[in-house]
Amino acid sequence: MSYFALIVAFIGRYDGKAGIGTVISTMLPFSIVFLIGWTTLLIIWVMLELPNGPGTSMFLN
């Protein structure tokens, strides 16, 4: 979200009629795919009980 204004400014430079709604409608499908993908990865990670890193576990014991 920190680069949102920068993206709106760049897209406005190339398409004068583009605005905030154009950026949101363009990025929404990508955001939904990333949400589904990372949620699926997290569920698989938890189901397989894989550690977060060396010497750690997913949950507090």
**Domains contained in the chain, number:** 1
User: To which residue do tokens 């189901």 refer?
Assistant: 47
Whether the per-residue pLDDT at 1 is higher than 70: the answer is no
- Residue 52 within a domain: no
Domain of residue 9 covers: 4-47
- Asked if residue 16 is part of any domain, the answer here is yes
Residue 61 lies in a domain: no
The answer to whether residue 42 sits within a structural domain is yes
In a domain, 29, yes or no: yes
Neighbour tally for 14: CB within 10 Å: 7
Domain presence at residue 13: yes
The pLDDT tens digits for 4-60 are: 889 888 988 988 888 899 989 989 999 999 999 999 999 999 999 888 888 887 777
* 28 occurs within a structural domain: yes
In angstroms, the CA 10 to CA 20 distance is 11
Place of tokens 């949950």: 59
